[in-house]
Structure 1
């Protein structure tokens, strides 16, 4: 049986998204690798907007309906022009609230936090057929084959907007440093010239650094290791409808096991703008390997 002594969820009493909420200045809690949970902070949907909590609004080409910033372009959705405009407005409203909320929670990041994609995830997690690398029911840290991050942090704000009482079921795992120590001995350096070639061929959006190489290997090693998935330190966390939670998904091992209808906002933050840069995956890996990862 898995060791369930993992205890990284910290609850807060906020009931409002705006600047008048009680919680602020909690950068250290987040950067230590905790999940910040707000069980009384729902994202309110108008009655007419509840119709968008249905898989039929997805175009079938992507698992999420998303807005791409800075332009707010809607992707992954199908419907009439009027319907799509209303769906776009719903997701944009979540983006605005999430950004104001994040800046209240983390005032140290003000002026440095960059808005990434905003998405509505309408599909059911459980039972989705995919490859093992794309199987998000397996514990992993976020890393992307085609989009090298160069150490930039991935801060995510999630909200369960399910209206039928279904929680978003997660697993969370061991601390990042312990996870890195588990697999670093089996990770080799990238082949000379491989980063340049992948970028030249359009496989990656920019040059992949050794940091990106290591993070991808950590992602893949964990997902491929079924014994790790079964027996590593981990705990189940259920986020009930109306719960909002915030996490650095490049640092916290997580797996989405079940649930349907969720909104998600991604933010990017450069390592030097953290309150404590030494807690980042980049600095942790450099410390363990005793060399810079460029």
Structure 2
């Protein structure tokens, strides 16, 4: 049996909800599914301490950071095109890595179909990543430093309020935990940082950025605010040290799920992880009022997309 340990800083309730899921196609009771959906859509992390991804003995040698292209952080599969990128070798290990990632993508999809069936027809743009580097070995700029609490927002990929759903699995063969920090609920986070977001949204600039290829589509006011919040959170060292947060260790052989655009999170330690990402329209949520777009629109008093 896997384990999960956590510690809390502050008086807010825990943002981690532990489940008893053990198999990727387990179908919980209707009551549990409703509870999981409400927790997840409210910004909690759905922890599955006993949900492991099985790897064969022949696959364990693939857990080698030397197999990652030095120009890339991860090896990834574009689920739409089927293309795998980031592998540094051209031998049989490339195909073995691709098979491993595709198998994880299939199991992660089975999990979401079973636990959150109302998402089934709406998830899109899947990406699956194999992370082989130790978290502390990656030394990015402060904006890309994922050891700082942040909510996900992508400079080149505006999403107009669509949700970013992620499933993670710690595949460390020695059981070493993936160490995370998880921050406060999104409404209080937004109330904290929204007054500090001073750069005005300029539709003409957003259109020009799309025309020049800086962004893949026109950035909405929502995307503009979320990018500022992402950067302001990471730049605020006082918040990083003393903001409401809890530490959680996800043991080897455990999985967890989260809307990463909503739950403040930071990766502090660990090595060897698989990750599945999808985008989800707000209309597919059971509780769309909890979406960051709706929270920010209530605070701003007008539509943001």
TM-score for both structures, normalised by structure 1: 0.96
In the alignment, what sits opposite 2:272? Answer: 261
User: Cα deviation per residue 1:97-128 (whole Å; 9 max; x = unaligned)?
Assistant: 00010011101112112251100000011242
In the alignment, what sits opposite 1:250? Answer: 261
In the alignment, what sits opposite 1:88? Answer: 98
Shift of 1:153: 0.3
- 2:14 is the alignment partner of 1:14: no
Q: Distance in 2 between matches of 1:220 and 1:97?
A: 33
Q: Distance in 1 between matches of 2:244 and 2:108?
A: 31
Q: What does 1:149-168 align with in structure 2 at a 5 Å threshold?
A: 149-168=159-178
Shift of 1:6: 4.6
1:207 to 218, 221, 226: 218
Number of aligned residue pairs: 294
1:137 to 147, 157, 164: 147
User: Cα deviation per residue 1:255-275 (whole Å; 9 max; x = unaligned)?
Assistant: 000010000000111011111
Larger mean CA deviation between 110-119 and 35-44 belongs to 110-119
Return 5+ residue gaps in structure 2 as ranges.
Answer: 1-7
Larger mean CA deviation between 81-90 and 182-191 belongs to 182-191
The root-mean-square deviation of aligned C-alpha atoms, in Å, is 1.5
Q: What does 1:1-294 align with in structure 2 at a 5 Å threshold?
A: 2-3=9-10, 5-20=12-27, 24-25=33-34, 26-188=36-198, 189-294=200-305
SS in 1 for 2:76: strand
Contact 2:175–2:253, Cα closer than 8 Å, also in 1: no
Contact 2:62–2:93, Cα closer than 8 Å, also in 1: no
Contact 1:4–1:235, Cα closer than 8 Å, also in 2: no
Shift of 1:245: 0.2
Q: Distance in 2 between matches of 1:216 and 1:113?
A: 23
User: Cα deviation per residue 1:210-241 (whole Å; 9 max; x = unaligned)?
Assistant: 00000001100000000010111001000000
Contact 1:6–1:173, Cα closer than 8 Å, also in 2: no
Q: Distance in 2 between matches of 1:63 and 1:88?
A: 16
CA distance change for structure 1 residues 15 and 192 in 2, over 3 Å: closer, same or farther? closer
TM-score for both structures, normalised by structure 2: 0.93
Return 5+ residue gaps in structure 1 as ranges.
Answer: none
Deviating beyond 2 angstroms after TM superposition, the runs of 4 or more aligned structure 1 residues are 1-6, 19-26
Shift of 1:165: 2.3
Q: Distance in 2 between matches of 1:126 and 1:4?
A: 29
In the alignment, what sits opposite 2:4? Answer: none
Q: Distance in 2 between matches of 1:7 and 1:19?
A: 25
